[in-house]
């Protein structure tokens, strides 16, 4: 009986399911109400460990993206800077090439003997540049011996010892010396320095230092010593101004630290200022030497213009720049003109050698290391 009841119940359920299916199929042809189509979203729980959505680009990035990357402008600027740097090499090579080409006749005729010969005879066509090289180096190094201590003294006084009321006027007058034309220095030397050298300073040096052999012979007021003095006056403002700027760049903490350790004022200047300024001072001295090597007019007016090599500083001399300025317009012969251009080549080579020595001096002072803190 129980089995019969269960079978009758299942048959009833089957009949009801068949009726429901038929009802749903019959209702499918009719339109579905809107309320049944729209469904309410059911909130779902966030998945643990799911990656967060990345935020979009900021307003600034969007603005920069619309403007472009600027890569073309950067590449153009970098290319321009490379061209400017390479132009220095091109100018130097161009000058050196022109000097070599124009002096080829003299190089072929005299060879290396041109730089070791003391003869300078345009009439017979015999040329040698040794007296001019000697005069250039002698006057330049004598000028440095006189100008460097004075320039350092002026720079130290202006930066460390000078009252504020006098600092600006003295600095202005020092820089004014660098702006005076060389021909004005030459005229002043002819009018003032030559008579002093002939009448006062020359006899005094002959009396006191004549035993050295550097001050002997006839003294006419013009010569190597007079040219060296006028060169020292001309390069003094260059060395002094650069040295003063370098000393001003030394931090005050260096000075205060040395004074706090119990040093005197002179020890502070020597240890805290001069030691940290030595690289720049060497550079300033080399710039002054470069000015002295190439000076023309002032030296030409007071050196005597005689191609000889003499031990006495009273004797007249000649420099590389002076002989070019004096005799270039008179050179009608091709060999004569080529010899003068070769003298210009010698001056160019002397300048290169001096700059190389300056680099070696800076390396010897610093050993490739920066200035140490006192």
Instruction: Identify whether the C-beta of residue 303 lies closer than 8 Å to the C-beta of residue 278.
Output: no
DSSP 181: -
pLDDT at 63: 72
Q: Which of 1-15, 146-160, 316-330 has the lowest mean pLDDT?
A: 1-15
**pLDDT at residue 14 tops 60:** no
Q: What is the mean pLDDT of residues 71-93?
A: 89
Region of poorest pLDDT, from 20-34, 121-135, 201-215: 20-34
366 — pLDDT class (breaks 50, 70, 90): low
pLDDT in tens, 234-291: 999 999 988 998 888 888 888 888 888 888 888 888 888 888 888 888 888 888 888 8
- Residue 47 above 80 pLDDT? no
**Has residue 168 got a pLDDT over 60?**
yes
**Residue in the block written with tokens 């800077």:** 81
pLDDT confidence bin for 37, thresholds 50/70/90: very low
Higher pLDDT: 43 or 83? It is 83
| pTM exceeds cut of 0.75 | no
Residue 287 to residues 112, 246, 249, Cα–Cα distance (Å): 29, 14, 19
pLDDT of residue 128: 87
Q: Which whole number is the average pLDDT over 152-162? A: 90
pLDDT band per the 50, 70, 90 thresholds, residue 365: low
CA–CA distance, 59 with 77 (Å, rounded to integer): 28
In tens, the pLDDT along 223-240 reads 999 999 999 999 999 999
Which domains can be identified in the chain, with CATH numbers?
92-366 (1.10.3720.10)
Two tokens, residue 52: 């967060």
The per-residue pLDDT for 45 is: 54
Residue 21: what pLDDT? 44
Please compute the mean of the pLDDT values over residues 44-64 and round it to a whole number. 65
* DSSP label at residue 317: B
Q: Give pLDDT, residue 196.
A: 92
- Largest distance between two CA atoms of the chain: 163
Nearest to 319 by CA among 290, 299, 339, 291: 299
**pLDDT score recorded for residue 368:** 52
- For the ranges 18-27, 221-230, 251-260, 328-337, which has the lowest average pLDDT? 18-27
- Asked if pLDDT for residue 83 goes beyond 60, the answer is yes
Cα–Cα distance measured from residue 54 to residue 120, given in angstroms and rounded to the nearest whole number = 87
Q: What percent of the chain has pLDDT over 70?
A: 80
Element (H, E) at 238: helix 224-248
Look at residues 95, 108, 373 and name the one whose alpha carbon lies nearest to residue 255.
373
User: 174 pLDDT band (50/70/90 cuts)?
Assistant: confident
Q: Rounded CA gap, 288 and 285, in Å?
A: 5
Residue 247 burial class via C-beta count within 10 angstroms: exposed 0-12, middle 13-18, buried 19 and up: buried
Taking residues 147-162, report their average pLDDT: 91
- Contact at 8 Å (CB) between 295 and 234? yes
- Res. 10 pLDDT band, cuts 50 70 90: very low
The pLDDT tens digits of the residues spanning 88-141 come to: 999 999 999 999 999 888 888 888 888 888 888 888 888 888 999 999 989 999
């Amino acid at each position: 009986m129980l089995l019969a009841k269960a079978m009758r119940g299942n048959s009833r359920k089957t009949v009801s399911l068949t009726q429901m299916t038929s009802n749903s199929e019959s209702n499918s042809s009719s339109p579905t109400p809107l309320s049944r189509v729209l469904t309410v979203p059911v909130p779902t729980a966030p998945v643990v460990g799911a990656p967060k959505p990345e935020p979009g680009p900021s307003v600034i990035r969007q603005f920069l993206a619309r403007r472009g990357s600027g890569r073309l402008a950067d590449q153009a600027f970098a290319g321009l800077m490379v061209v400017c740097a390479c132009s220095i090499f091109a100018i130097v090579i161009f000058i050196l090439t022109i000097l070599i080409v124009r002096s080829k006749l003299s190089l072929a005729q005299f060879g290396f003997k041109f730089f070791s010969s003391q003869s300078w005879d345009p009439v017979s066509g015999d040329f040698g540049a040794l007296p001019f090289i000697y005069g250039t180096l002698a006057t330049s190094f004598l000028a440095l011996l006189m100008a460097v201590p004075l320039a350092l003294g002026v720079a130290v006084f202006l930066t460390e010892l000078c009252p504020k009321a006098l600092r600006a006027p003295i600095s202005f007058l020092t820089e004014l010396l660098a702006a005076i034309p060389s021909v004005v220095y030459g005229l002043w030397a002819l009018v003032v320095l030559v008579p002093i050298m002939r009448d006062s300073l020359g006899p005094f040096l002959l009396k006191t230092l004549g035993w050295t052999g550097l001050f002997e012979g006839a003294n006419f007021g013009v010569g190597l010593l007079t040219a060296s003095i006028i060169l020292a006056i001309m390069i003094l403002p260059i060395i002094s101004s650069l040295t003063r700027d370098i000393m001003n760049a030394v931090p005050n903490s260096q000075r205060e630290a040395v004074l706090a350790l119990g040093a005197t004022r002179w020890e502070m200047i020597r240890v805290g200022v001069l030691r940290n300024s030595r690289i720049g001072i060497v550079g300033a001295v080399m710039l002054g030497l470069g000015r002295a090597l190439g000076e023309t007019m002032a030296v030409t007016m007071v050196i005597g213009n005689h191609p000889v090599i003499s031990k006495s500083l009273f004797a007249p001399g000649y420099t590389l720049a002076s002989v070019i300025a004096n005799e270039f317009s008179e050179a009608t012969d091709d060999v004569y003109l080529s010899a003068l251009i070769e003298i210009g080549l010698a001056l160019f080579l002397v300048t290169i050698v001096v700059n190389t020595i300056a680099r070696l001096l800076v390396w010897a002072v610093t050993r490739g290391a920066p200035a140490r803190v006192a």
